[in-house]
Amino acid sequence: MMPPPGYILIRPETLVGVQKAVEAALGARAAECLAAGGRAGGVKATAQLEGDAASRAGRLLEAGREIGWGDFALERLTPTALVVSVAGSPFARAYGAAGAPVCHLTRGVLETLALVVLERPARVVETTCAAMGAERCRFESVPT
Ligand SMILES: [Zn+2]
């Protein structure tokens, strides 16, 4: 099994193992460390996008599906708001039950998407997560 050029294959359990170790070491600050990793990958992913905001967003979410990050759906895109949901997040599945959202890597990637497609700076918050029992993880931009 060969990954696409520029990628490596890694089990979600491996990433979640890192996540849980960082959480044990740093507590609440761990989420931002993981989101920073998502942003670093997101910078590469969004640099290759072309077209208007809707086509850039659509292409990134399609790429997310192709590399196994879940079934992404663009729920809302305006010049100032981005809402994305994901079914079957491998990070939520590998994490197991949790009292708070756990898909910080995905959130970081979507923060770079928000930088590219929104007219104002925004951070992204995961408002519901499959690890909390929700049907889909949901990510919403919040103006900064
Ligand atoms: Zn989630």
Spacing, Cα 134 to ligand 1 middle (Å): 9
Domain boundaries, the chain: 33-143
Is 55 strand, coil or helix? Answer: helix
Q: Cα separation of 27 and 38, whole Å?
A: 18
Q: Cα separation of 31 and 25, whole Å?
A: 12
Spacing, Cα 60 to ligand 1 middle (Å): 18
Per-residue pLDDT of the chain (144 residues; tens, 9 = 90+): 788 888 999 999 999 999 999 999 999 999 999 999 999 999 999 998 999 999 999 999 999 999 999 999 999 999 999 999 999 999 999 999 999 999 999 999 999 999 999 999 999 999 999 999 999 999 999 999
- The highest-level CATH class for domain 33-143 is alpha beta
Predicted structure pTM score: 0.96
Matching residue, tokens 């086509």: 55
Q: Cα separation of 143 and 124, whole Å?
A: 9
Spacing, Cα 111 to ligand 1 middle (Å): 15
